[in-house]
Structures are given as structure tokens and as C-alpha cells.
């Protein structure tokens, strides 16, 4: 899900919220996002918080923050509900 939060937050414009089904998939997702951001968009390496083993990774690119969750952690944090004032730009299921 791509969530437009411009005008809602001062620290970022967009959240990307995604779910991985395993630790390996979360790690691969984070690596693919990092590689695409650096090569395609020439962004610097993001600041990363969390670990795939814990079921949650945050990648901070500045104007875009990527949240990669396990299914359990995504249900626990419920970011879509927390930031429901944002506009859903893209939803892929």
C-alpha cells in the first residue's frame, strides 16, 4: 500500500506498507527496495530500524518511509488505521 501523508506529517510525505510471509521474504523485500532506490532513483542508503527476524523493518528515505511487516506485526501495529487521514494512492493485494 502506498499512503500519501503530505500535509499530515512533517517528517515524511509517503508511507509504503507491505507484508512478507517469512523472515527471508522480508529481508529480500528490503534488499530489493534499497537496490531499486539507489540505482533507479539515485537515493542514498536509507536509515533502517528493526529486523526481519522481529517481523518488522523500517527504511527511512526521507520523503518516503517503507514499513515491511510480518502478517502478525502488521496486524499489531495497524498503521492503516493509525494514519487513516492519509490518502491511499495504490493498493496491491
Domains and CATH numbers, the chain: 2-90 (3.30.460.10)
The region, left, alpha or beta by phi > 0 then psi within -120 to 50, assigned to residue 76 is alpha
Mean pLDDT, residues 78-85: 90
Instruction: Give φ, ψ of 75 to 5 degrees.
Output: -65, -35
Torsion 55-53-35-93 (CA) sign:
negative
pTM reported for the whole predicted model: 0.91
The three cell numbers of residue 87 are 490518502
Please state, in angstroms and rounded to a whole number, the distance separating the CA atoms of residues 87 and 71.
Answer: 22
| Residue 93 reports pLDDT greater than 90 | no
For 20-76, the pLDDT digits (tens) are: 999 999 999 999 999 999 999 898 899 999 999 999 999 999 999 999 999 999 999
Amino acid at each position: 500500500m502506498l499512503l500519501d501523508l503530505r500535509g499530515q506529517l512533517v517528517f515524511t510525505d509517503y508511507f509504503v506498507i507491505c507484508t512478507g510471509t517469512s523472515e527471508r521474504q522480508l529481508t529480500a523485500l528490503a534488499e530489493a527496495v534499497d537496490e531499486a532506490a539507489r540505482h533507479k532513483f539515485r537515493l542514498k542508503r536509507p536509515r533502517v530500524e528493526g529486523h526481519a527476524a522481529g517481523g518488522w523493518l523500517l527504511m527511512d528515505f526521507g520523503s518516503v518511509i517503507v514499513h515491511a511487516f510480518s502478517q502478525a506485526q502488521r496486524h499489531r501495529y495497524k498503521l492503516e488505521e493509525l494514519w487513516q487521514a492519509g490518502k491511499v494512492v495504490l493498493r496491491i493485494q
